[in-house]
C-alpha cells in the first residue's frame, strides 16, 4: 500500500516510443558482421589518444561500461576491440523520418521530442489493451520495414509513458495502467523523473529523498524552500499527476554541430576556419531539411570546461550559408577572449513554420 501517495486515474492513454541504441542500430542493420559486437559511434578513438565523445553504442558495448557522452578515450580503454565508427548524420535523419512516418500513420495526435523518440496520444482507442495492440503493430512494422528495434511505454501520462519505455530496453513494451501507476513510480529512484539530473538528485539525497515515494510524501513547504515553485509540479509528477498534453508540433527546434579540437587551441586562424566548416555543415543539414532559421548561436568551451554561448536573431529567416557564416564569425569574435579553446559549436534555431523535426548533431 502507498498511503501517502495521491491516487489519480486518468482517461488518457499515452504511448512513448524510443528507438534502441539508435545511431548504432542504424549502422548495424544490413551489416551482419557487426551483429553481436560492441559498436561505438562517436569521435575517432585514435588508439586511446582521441578527443571528443561517444554519441552512443550498441548494448554489447554497454556491457563494457561504455555510455553516451563518455570521452572516446575512456571508451577505448574499456573496450579496445570495439568497432568504432564515425557518425553518419544524414543516415540517422533519414531513419528517423522513416520511423516517424510509421508513428504518424494511424493519424493520432503525435509529438516528436527528439531524433529517436515521440509520443502518441492513443486515448481515442479507448482501452489499454487496444493501445498495447497498436504498440505491438508499430514495433513489428518498424522492425520489418526498417530493421530497427524500439522500446515503448504506455501510461496515463506523458512522464510515466516516458519512464515506462525505458524500463525494458531494448525491444521492450511496458504498460502502466491507472491502478498500477503509483506502485510503478513509488520505488523508483528520483533520477528516473525526466529533468532530474545529477545536481537535483544529490540535493534531494541531502534532504533524505531517494525514491519517488519519498518525494511524493515530502513536506511541500520544505521542497518549495529548496527548489522554488517548480517543486509543486515535481511533487505532482511523483504522485503520478501530469497534465501535459501531446503537442502536435511538427518540427525541428534546432540543428546543431559541434566539434572538439585535437588539442586546445588559441590559433585564431584555425578557430575561424573550424567555425566556418561547422557553419557550412549545419547549413547543409538545414537545406537537407528544407529549413530556414532566424537564430544563430555560437558555443565556445575553453580549456577547463568554462563554456560561453552567444546568440543573434536575424530580422529574416535565412538558409544562406554565407549569412550564417558571417553571423557565426561575428558571434565568435564577441565571445573569444584569447584563451585556449577546447570545443566549438553552432546551433541554428527559430525555424520557419515549414520545420520538419528536431536534430541535435554532435561529433
Ligand atoms: P538516446 O535515446 O539517449 O540513446 P540511444 O537511442 O542510443 O540508446 P537507448 O537504447 O538507451 O535509447 O539518444 C538517441 C541518439 O542521440 C543516440 O543514438 C545518439 C544521439 N546521442 C548523442 O549523440 N549524444 C548523447 O549524449 C546522447 C545521449 C545521444
Ligand atoms: Ca533511444
User: Does the annotation mark 117 as catalytic?
Assistant: yes
Q: Is the CB of 57 under 6 A from ligand 1?
A: no
- How many other CB atoms are found less than 10 A from the CB of residue 103? 20
Identify which of 39, 53, 68 to mutate to test ligand 1's pocket (most ligand atoms within 8 A of the CB): 68
pLDDT for the residue numbered 114: 86
Query: Reading across the β-sheet that carries 307-318, which strands appear in turn?
Result: 254-265, 341-351, 293-302, 307-318
The pLDDT score that the predictor gives to residue 4 is 52
Specify the ligand 1 atom closest to the Cα of 23. Answer: 18
Residue 250 has what pLDDT? 54
Please work out whether the CB of residue 237 comes within 6 Å of at least one atom of ligand 1: no
Give pTM, 2 decimals. Answer: 0.72
Ligand nearest to the CA of 23: 1
SS3 label, residue 21: coil
Sheet holding 54-57, edge to edge: 54-57, 39-42, 83-85
* φ, ψ (nearest 5 deg) of residue 211: -105, 165
Looking at residue 148, its pLDDT comes to: 98
Q: Which of 117, 236, 281, 362 is catalytic?
A: 117
Grouped pLDDT means (10 residues each) for the chain, 363 residues? 50 96 96 96 95 96 97 97 94 92 92 92 94 97 97 97 97 97 97 91 96 97 92 95 84 82 95 96 84 92 91 89 96 96 94 49 34
Per the listing, cell 542500430 goes with 25
CB atoms within 10 A of CB 293: 25
pLDDT score for 361:
37
Q: Does ligand 1 lie within 6 Å of residue 362's CB atom?
A: yes
Regarding the beta carbon of 281 and ligand 1, being less than 6 Å apart is answered no
Cα separation of 188 and 184, whole Å? 8
**What is the widest separation between alpha-carbon atoms in the chain?**
65
Q: Whose CA is nearest to atom 20 of ligand 1?
A: 55
Nearest to 203 by CA among 177, 161, 182, 234: 234
Residue 238, pLDDT score: 96
* Whole-number pLDDT of residue 356: 40
Query: Which residues have C-beta within 8 Å of that of residue 96, sequence separation ≥ 6?
Result: 22, 115, 116, 357, 359
| Rounded distance between C-alpha atoms, residue 181 and residue 191, angstroms | 17
Contact by Cβ (8 Å): 329, 276? yes
Tally Cβ neighbours within 10 Å of residue 49. Answer: 11
Paired with 259 in beta bridges are 344
Amino acid at each position: 500500500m502507498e498511503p501517502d501517495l495521491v491516487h489519480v486515474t486518468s482517461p488518457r492513454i499515452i504511448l512513448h516510443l524510443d528507438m534502441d541504441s539508435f545511431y548504432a542500430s542504424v549502422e548495424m542493420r544490413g551489416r551482419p558482421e557487426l551483429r553481436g559486437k560492441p559498436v561505438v559511434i562517436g569521435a575517432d578513438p585514435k588508439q586511446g589518444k582521441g578527443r571528443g565523445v561517444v554519441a552512443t553504442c550498441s548494448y554489447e558495448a554497454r556491457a563494457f561500461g561504455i555510455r553516451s557522452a563518455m570521452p572516446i578515450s575512456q571508451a577505448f580503454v574499456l573496450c579496445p576491440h570495439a568497432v568504432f565508427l564515425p557518425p553518419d548524420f544524414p543516415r540517422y535523419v533519414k531513419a528517423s523520418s522513416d520511423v516517424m512516418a510509421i508513428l504518424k500513420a494511424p493519424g493520432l495526435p503525435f509529438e516528436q521530442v527528439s531524433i529517436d523518440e515521440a509520443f502518441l496520444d492513443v486515448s481515442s482507442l479507448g482501452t489499454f489493451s487496444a493501445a498495447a495492440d497498436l504498440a505491438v503493430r508499430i514495433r513489428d512494422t518498424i522492425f520489418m520495414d526498417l530493421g530497427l528495434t524500439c522500446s515503448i511505454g504506455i501510461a496515463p501520462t506523458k512522464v510515466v509513458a516516458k519512464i515506462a519505455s525505458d524500463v525494458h530496453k531494448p525491444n521492450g513494451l511496458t504498460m502502466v495502467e491507472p491502478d498500477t501507476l503509483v506502485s510503478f513510480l513509488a520505488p523508483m529512484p528520483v533520477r528516473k523523473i525526466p529533468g532530474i539530473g545529477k545536481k537535483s538528485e544529490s540535493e534531494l539525497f541531502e534532504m533524505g529523498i531517494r525514491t519517488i515515494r519519498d518525494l511524493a510524501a515530502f513536506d511541500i513547504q520544505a521542497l518549495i524552500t529548496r527548489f522554488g515553485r517548480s517543486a509543486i509540479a515535481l511533487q505532482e509528477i511523483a504522485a503520478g499527476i501530469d497534465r501535459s498534453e501531446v503537442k502536435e508540433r511538427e518540427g525541428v527546434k534546432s540543428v546543431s554541430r559541434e566539434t572538439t579540437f585535437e588539442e586546445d587551441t588559441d590559433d585564431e586562424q584555425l578557430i575561424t576556419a573550424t567555425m566556418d566548416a561547422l557553419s557550412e555543415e549545419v547549413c547543409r543539414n538545414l537545406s537537407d531539411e528544407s529549413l530556414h532559421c532566424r537564430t544563430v548561436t555560437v558555443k565556445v568551451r575553453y580549456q577547463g570546461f568554462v563554456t560561453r554561448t552567444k546568440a543573434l536573431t536575424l530580422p529574416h529567416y535565412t538558409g544562406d550559408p554565407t549569412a550564417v557564416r558571417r553571423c557565426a564569425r561575428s558571434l565568435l569574435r564577441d565571445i573569444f577572449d584569447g584563451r585556449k579553446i577546447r570545443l566549438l559549436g553552432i546551433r541554428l534555431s527559430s525555424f520557419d513554420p515549414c520545420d520538419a523535426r528536431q536534430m541535435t548533431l554532435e561529433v
